Amino acid sequence: MEQVQWYDLPVEILHIIFHKLKDPSDIYRCGLVCVLWKSVAKTLLPHCLLLSNVDVFKDETGRSHPKASLNKQSCVLLNTQTSETHEISLPELEGRWFCSSSFGWLLTIGFKTPHKLCLLNPFTSDQIELPSAREFIRPDHLRVITSSSPLDPKCLVLAARGYYGELAFCRPVVTYFVSVATSSL
């Protein structure tokens, strides 16, 4: 009798197996096995919002500041269809907070100056270092978007700093951001 390979399982069986999984992380990880498994996993993954690990507090002058727990090593997924939440353990978040995501990767920012930036895949734990946020006065207002998966060598990372209108871009493999003059935009 010929042995069947995992990637050759019929789609119907994959659906049955994946339906038994309650943790979105497990479904996502199954989707990493091969193209067929990914196509099945995509149909079952809930539409989720990633909730930040940062709260806001006001100082004695009334200014708002981010406050993240140094011990918080997880993030929360909110299923937008059922309002259920699911906590994902992320030990890589120790000493960091995240404030945006693109193509499933989180922008994490180190608490301490020079506020090291990193793109983190919350399911595979892959990390890609970016240039530091030294030139951004308030890194807590920083948001990024990528042109494609950060694993793509042609990927561009665009960083925008909140309502200040600062824009900069880089490729994940370089050590500096290139600023963009926004007065003409």
Q: pLDDT tens digits for 143-178?
A: 788 898 888 888 998 888 766 667 888 888 777 777
pLDDT digits 0-9 by tens, 24-33: 778 877 887 8
Q: pLDDT digits over 42-60, tens only?
A: 887 766 666 655 555 566 7
Phi then psi for 141, rounded to 5 degrees? -95, 5
- Distance between CA atoms of 27 and 171, rounded to whole angstroms? 30
Domain boundaries, the chain: 1-45, 46-180
Cα(47)–Cα(49) distance, rounded to whole angstroms?
A: 7
Q: What is the pTM of this model?
A: 0.65
- Name the CATH topology of 1-45: Monooxygenase (1.20.1280)
Spatial contact of 79 and 70, defined as CB atoms under 8 Å apart: no
What integer is the mean pLDDT of 2-30? Answer: 81
Tell me 150's DSSP state: T
**Residue 28, SS3 per DSSP:** helix
